[in-house]
Chains A and B, each alone.
Chain A
Amino acid sequence: MTFALRNLQAAFAAHIMEDNSERLADAVVGDSIAAIARLRVHRHHVFHSLATALASTFATVRTLVGEDFFRTMARAYVARALPAQPVLTEYGMDFPAFVAAYAPAQGLPYLTDIARLDWALNLAFQAPRGAVLGVADLQVIPVEQLPAQRLVLAPGHALVCSPYPIDRIWAAAQPGAGAEALDLESDPAQLLVVPRMDDAAFIAVEAGEAAFLAALADGETLETAAGRGLGADAGFDLSASFARFLSLGLFVALHQESDAEKI
């Protein structure tokens, strides 16, 4: 059987994803190794290599559920959502949502949030590092204009919040971690994921800080964000938290509500 190249490639893709092998197998030379067995080499490689890429990105999920469970789950994800482009560190954005809906994982209610944390750490690790705002950049802004400023978070920073103590679960799953008894109902976690010089990490923030940062990330003004922080936690200390975030290099730009000019 002869295919035009475009049709051949579509048939090959369908074979890999759905194993509707008969038609394509007719176009493949078989001998003591049948055409189907030869095609299976590619089918295996596509699923195996993409599951391996997911295991690298979602390493903590993999550790928590074990290799076999992870591979089965990852292959189910691959079957539903192949990458749209070739950069594998950018593959798996909706894997956490897939984990949330994956019936065999329902016994591990925190797994989705761990997947979100792994993904955020992956993005932070891959993020370009660049110049960030310092105290001196803010000192040139007249005090009365500060409340109207919007702050742009540096690439790779993200908030990951969970009703479960995912920071402690994550730490317990790292190589060399000692056994620790965890009370899953005990501590909700608000984590700020940050790129560092050579890797990425997360730090715990208070509920007020999390609300403040979430508002800034949504493009709200400093004034509105501060209000959200206080709304979440009456003890939210704007100046202390803001100074801390500034020292972490959290912001790359600020601009006023009235004009979009960045400094």
Chain B
Amino acid sequence: MVVAGIGLRAPHLAEIERTRPATAFLELHAENYLGGSPALEKIERLRRDYVLSVHAVGLSLGSADGMDEAHLGRIAALVERLEPAYVSEHLAWSVTGGRYFNDLLPLPYTEEALDVVATNVQRLQDTLRRPIAVENPSCYLAFTHSTLSEPDFLDAMARRTGCGLLLDVNNVAVTAHNLRLDPAAWLSGLRPEAIVQYHLAGHAVNDADGQPILIDDHGSRVNDAVWGLFAETLRRFGSRPTLLEWDTDIPDLAVLLDEAARADAVIADVAREADDDVRAA
């Protein structure tokens, strides 16, 4: 069964229109389609044949200033127009003092930040009149005054707002490496019923102070460690719609579809393991 989808990127749009590849869903970045360009009409036509996911990157759910109402309105208009199956954003902030930093900046995991994020998520869900999914970030640093673990923060946010969690498995691997955490222990902090979707992507290894630091650049194939963590995630939580993302050094569409096929194969393998376990028992 095909449950893996791919991120829809501008260089692939014409080929997808022409060849209509089999994929479970297409995810588009909301901020690329807010101007009303002809590309949006193409997406509307694809909507007849594909399940869509709208993934926003700029709503800044963690902003103490609250969300930019104008941007929220544009996102809401896009969601209304496309009626996607999924809408998602990130646990991060990118706006302060009216300036947009184009980065998913880290939050301290405190009760105060939880109040801010929960208020913004609720505002977004009220505006869209639907639940959204919020993605765990890739972390390069932690704040000394955090009082909650990241999974506990995500879980509390989901309980308070009713939002789902978009579990980015690559981000778990990146965060766990960079912050010296155990990815299995990190996963054990989440409830399966809160998780609505998985993301997979490649990451880069850079140097910081002579130490390797993993950078979530979505610029390569998913690496073996992340495939392993994905299998572990599936054993723990079960299958979900799964998306392959690729944003820098974008390859041929065939490479992205091949990665999605591999995700489907891993999902099928883990499902078989589970069946075998049931029979053995």
Contact = CB atoms under 8 A, between A and B. Distances in A.
Nearest to B139: A38
Nearest to B57: A86
Nearest to A198: B38
A12 B96 contact: yes
Contact of A46 (B102, B112, B215): B102
Interface residues of B, number: 54
A32 B94 CA distance: 27
A108 interface: no
B110 interface: yes
A27 interface: yes
Interface string B97-118: 1111111011110101100100
B37 A85 contact: no
Of the candidates B36, B96, B116, B179, the one having the most CB atoms from chain A within 10 angstroms of its own CB is: B96
Interface stretch (A58-66, A87-95, A208-216): A87-95
A53 interface: yes
Contact of A3 (B140, B145, B208): B145
Interface in A7-44: 8-10, 12-13, 16, 26-29, 31-35, 37-42
A197 B38 contact: yes
A84 interface: yes
A262 interface: no
Contact of B94 (A26, A86, A90): A86
B31 A86 contact: yes
Nearest to B95: A86
B209 A32 contact: yes
Given A9-B63, A33-B211, A27 B71 contact: no
A2 B34 contact: no
B103 A46 contact: yes
B180 A38 contact: no
A4 B64 CA distance: 9
A6 B64 contact: yes
Interface string A75-86: 000000011111
Contact of B35 (A1, A3, A9, A89): A89
Contact of A38 (B71, B99, B208): B208
Interface residues of A, number: 48
A41 B208 CA distance: 8
A127 interface: yes
B94 A125 contact: no
B102 to A, nearest CB: 5
Contact of A129 (B31, B34, B38, B58): B38
A175 B11 CA distance: 16
B96 A86 contact: no
Contacts of A49: 102-103
A154 B266 CA distance: 51
A236 B88 CA distance: 55
Interface string B27-39: 0000110111110
A27 B144 contact: yes
Given A126-B35, A127-B37, A27 B145 contact: yes
Contacts of A45: 102-103
A6 B93 CA distance: 11
Interface string B186-222: 0000000000000000000010110101010000000
A152 interface: no
A128 interface: yes
B108 A8 contact: yes
B142 interface: yes
Contacts of A5: 62, 64, 107-108, 110, 112-113, 116
Contact of B36 (A31, A42, A127): A127
A2 B71 contact: no
Interface of B: 31-32, 34-38, 41, 57-60, 62-65, 68, 70-71, 74, 93-103, 105-108, 110, 112-113, 116, 140-145, 178-180, 206, 208-209, 211, 213, 215
Given A46-B101, A85-B71, A86-B95, 15 more contacts: A1-B144, A9-B93, A26-B144, A27-B108, A27-B144, A33-B178, A38-B208, A41-B213, A42-B140, A82-B101, A85-B68, A86-B58, A127-B36, A127-B37, A128-B36
Closest 7 CB pairs of A and B: A86-B58, A128-B36, A38-B141, A6-B64, A126-B35, A9-B96, A5-B64
